[in-house]
Structure 1
Amino acid sequence: MSIQQWSSRKRLAVICVPLCLSAGLSLLMLWKLRVPFPWIDVLWGMCSVWVGFVCRPWQRWGINLAVILFTLAIAETCIRPKQPGDATYHSLDAPQLKFVMGDDLLGLVPRPNSRARHTLVTAGQTNIDAVYTIDENSLRVVSPAGRPESEPVVFCGCSYTFGEGVEDDESLPSQVALRRPDLRMLNFGFSGYGPHQMLANLESGRLGKICGKPPRVVIYQMIPPHVKRVVGWVPYRAHAPRYGWQGGKLCRLGHHDDRRWLAPLQKGLAKSGVYSKLLEDWIISSADIELTAAVVEQSAAEVAGQFPGCEFHVLFWSFPHNPIAASLSAELKRRGLKLHMVQQFAPEIEDRNSRFGIPGDGHPSPEAYARLADYICQEILPEAAATSQ
């Protein structure tokens, strides 16, 4: 009996069974394989051919879809997803302790009163070997520490502020502290953070409590990927605070992982080279940029309300060729924020493949932080010039 003589029920069965098996196999490959999408695309391309073969009216659609999927498979094979090196964090206090711990306010924080060695090996070469010291408040220590009675200067941001890949005394807050020993620097930055963690720190009163006295300046170091973190479109820090609009007002809506479907989708897409290298930076909408800028603006308003006279500055990395950097910086300027463009005052350090970037990683090197510290002490903390002279 030819396929054309099969009953509708039999045709449906020979279509649905392979499709169900393919769906299960695709999920298994997403879970187990590091680069699953070439195989997934080929599998579904074969399914498309089979459906077109069984149901002749769908033959053209099946063949066209198969061509698209086979082309995607080739693209996924040629365009591999971003593969970080092998990173490890070894506790120097107790081997069984993890470097990070869950936190309902911020999502994750470094374990308080701890020391950990971070190593990163890329292509067989050790690019990072640094020790991170964390104080009782889950903040990275600043060296020199400054006197407790000194006026605080607060740094907020992500790994660029935390100082990923450099020693305690080489981070940006530490290099500013070296130039301004009369002030006390506090490092509220951590890897994967964004302005939503800064706002949560301010709204909860945690920042003010740790400072002990009103800070002179709050410096937020921003990079374009913070937009994806604010809207929750990243496969990490899933329990981070989620902000959005409610009744026309910006407010906290819970955590990103309240939307349980989001994290598995993000982790799966992160394994796609086509998505991570060609599409990821282009899915950000103008509404996402406006929301992120509003979070920064609200943080500035919280600083002004809680600490009268305290200045709020944004140190902005453009990431050359990033598709949203220009729109994001324009929106921040439109909202009246004090914006310092790294691309304008130190364009050389934006080249992460130079001596200003850690090889095989791209985070700023100690030389880059030294350049930023000089600028901060000249333009944001101008008393430094008088002190040094």
Structure 2
Amino acid sequence: MARKIPFFIQIILIPLLIAAILLVELKHPFPKFRLAALVLVFALIVDVAILARGKTRNLMVVLASLVFGLSLAEGAAGAITPRSVVKIDRGWSVRQPIMGWGPEKAGTYHAQMIDPSDNSIIYETNYTFDSDLLRHTVSADSGPAIVFFGDSFTFGDGVKNEETLPQDFADLTGGKQHVLNLALTGYSPQQFLHEMETSRFDKVIGPDPKLFVFLTAAWHAERTSCKAYWTAHAPLYALEDGRVVFKGDCNEGASLWWREWLGNSALYSYLIEPWRHKVKHNDVELYVSVLEAAVKMAKEKYGAPTIIPYLRMPKEYLQGTGFTNDSIMQRLSDSGAIVIDASLQKEEAAGAQISIRIDGHPTPYANRVRAAQIKAAIDEKLPGVLLADAK
């Protein structure tokens, strides 16, 4: 017969298990810490059930069964969910005020993406940030700036410093134009607007910027609505009486804790997160409105026109929202922006590789073509923006 665990050991196990649960949840010591936490909770409930009697024991048995099922589901979700294949040096993106996140300090951060199916390298590069904490761009050191705002597409995820969209544009001007890359992975129209509202980069931009550029697609609506899983610390905007109003961070206090707790669950990420990302009419309306407000502020505060290279989404993405790619582009054009179709559908149909395999970010080729599109739009619609000797 199995030997029964002594009563005093069962008592001692309770605080030990509670301490272990708190340690795992607070420190996140390994990737599958949430599964470990659930297993520890299961052990704690079983221990209490052994000590309890009557209805309390029955309740503990029910709770133990529930947590056991959650543990199995969490483990299964973790097994079938693709593991992270991106490795970037620590400090390249940390919690920052105003924008939500950004590089910890100037320097070079090594980035690598690996195909989990065969461990082959998809890309391997370095992200270099200058003293202003911006992706390094070689251009004229001074003069009226052409400023690129945006997300990972503009920042240049997966490509070398010399292969980013802003750098390609600077090269097209012969290096005579002052070009800045204010983009960063995960940013969206809410950072574009908030940077201007708070004058975050005014000293870097200078007193007389010539042009702002913001590449976008309808999936930015997942970010302006704070639905994207990484946007907990991003600026939050809302529509009030038709006006775009800043409200703080996407999540704060208990809301932030709950979102981060859920976000660390493989089960939540597998079952709930994809559904949560789906956009509705109000999400797209807010996205377009934030961009319209940014275009207006660029003109009123900085005297700078805005070019918006737009990437078309499959029509299914916007289905049921009341919006189409064309209606979004028209709204942005009506707001005063110069909108260009930068989807590169013809190039892709002709066999060009416009996206990094598996990763999905633009290839160096795509960046070069889009840079040429931007310069052509400037030459046609904004004469005088480029320095005469930069043409």
Structure 2 length as normaliser, TM-score? 0.73
Q: Quote the residue 1:127 is aligned against.
A: 122
Q: Quote the residue 2:355 is aligned against.
A: 357
Partner Cα distance (2:70, 2:225) in 1: 25
Amino acid at match of 2:103: P
Superposition deviation, residue 233 in structure 1: 1.0
Contact 2:102-2:184 within 8 A present in 1 as well: yes
Classify 1:84/1:12 alpha carbon distance in 2 versus 1 (closer, same or farther; 3 Å): same
Classify 1:248/1:371 alpha carbon distance in 2 versus 1 (closer, same or farther; 3 Å): closer
Q: Quote the residue 1:87 is aligned against.
A: 86
User: Are 2:237 and 1:195 aligned?
Assistant: no
Q: Quote the residue 1:372 is aligned against.
A: 370
Superposition deviation, residue 202 in structure 1: 0.4
Contact 2:77-2:266 within 8 A present in 1 as well: no
Contact 2:176-2:389 within 8 A present in 1 as well: no
CA RMSD between the two structures: 3.2
Classify 1:270/1:157 alpha carbon distance in 2 versus 1 (closer, same or farther; 3 Å): farther
Stretches of structure 1 lacking an aligned partner (at least 5 in a row): 1-9, 37-76, 91-96
After alignment, is 288-297 or 322-331 more displaced? Answer: 322-331
Superposition deviation, residue 371 in structure 1: 0.6
Q: Quote the residue 1:53 is aligned against.
A: none
Classify 1:245/1:125 alpha carbon distance in 2 versus 1 (closer, same or farther; 3 Å): same
Of the candidates 308, 311, 317, which is equivalent to residue 314 of structure 1? 308
User: Are 2:32 and 1:35 aligned?
Assistant: no
Contact 1:137-1:210 within 8 A present in 2 as well: yes
Classify 1:100/1:385 alpha carbon distance in 2 versus 1 (closer, same or farther; 3 Å): closer
Contact 1:34-1:271 within 8 A present in 2 as well: no
Partner Cα distance (2:237, 2:65) in 1: 37
Partner Cα distance (2:131, 2:331) in 1: 38
Structure 1 length as normaliser, TM-score? 0.73
User: Are 2:162 and 1:163 aligned?
Assistant: no
Classify 1:225/1:33 alpha carbon distance in 2 versus 1 (closer, same or farther; 3 Å): farther
Classify 1:385/1:136 alpha carbon distance in 2 versus 1 (closer, same or farther; 3 Å): closer
User: Are 2:208 and 1:208 aligned?
Assistant: no
Superposition deviation, residue 203 in structure 1: 0.2
Amino acid at match of 1:333: Q
1:170-212 CA-to-partner distances (Å, cap 9, x unmatched) read 0000000000122111111111111001111000012322211
Partner Cα distance (2:134, 2:213) in 1: 15
Identity over aligned pairs, percent? 20
Stretches of structure 2 lacking an aligned partner (at least 5 in a row): 1-52
Q: Quote the residue 1:327 is aligned against.
A: 324
User: How many residues are paired up?
Assistant: 322
Please list, as runs of the form range in 1=range in 2, the aligned pairs for 1:213-228 lying within 5 A after superposition.
213-228=207-222
Partner Cα distance (1:140, 1:340) in 2: 24
Partner Cα distance (1:385, 1:254) in 2: 39
Partner Cα distance (2:57, 2:379) in 1: 72
- For the residue of structure 2 that corresponds to 1:238, the secondary structure is coil
Q: Quote the residue 1:117 is aligned against.
A: 110
Please list, as runs of the form range in 1=range in 2, the aligned pairs for 1:1-389 lying within 5 A after superposition.
17=60, 19-25=62-68, 28=71, 33=75, 35=77, 81=81, 83=82, 85-90=84-89, 98-122=91-115, 123=117, 124-143=119-138, 145-148=139-142, 150-180=143-173, 181-246=175-240, 248-258=242-252, 259-260=255-256, 261-268=258-265, 272-273=269-270, 275=272, 279=275, 283-308=278-303, 310-324=304-318, 327=324, 330-334=327-331, 336-337=334-335, 338=337, 339-343=339-343, 346-348=344-346, 355-382=353-380
Contact 1:234-1:266 within 8 A present in 2 as well: no
Partner Cα distance (1:201, 1:294) in 2: 16
Q: Quote the residue 2:4 is aligned against.
A: none
1:27-57 CA-to-partner distances (Å, cap 9, x unmatched) read 5567x63715xxxxxxxxxxxxxxxxxxxxx
Superposition deviation, residue 249 in structure 1: 3.0
Partner Cα distance (1:329, 1:16) in 2: 57
- For the residue of structure 2 that corresponds to 1:202, the secondary structure is helix
Classify 1:332/1:388 alpha carbon distance in 2 versus 1 (closer, same or farther; 3 Å): closer
Q: Quote the residue 1:52 is aligned against.
A: none
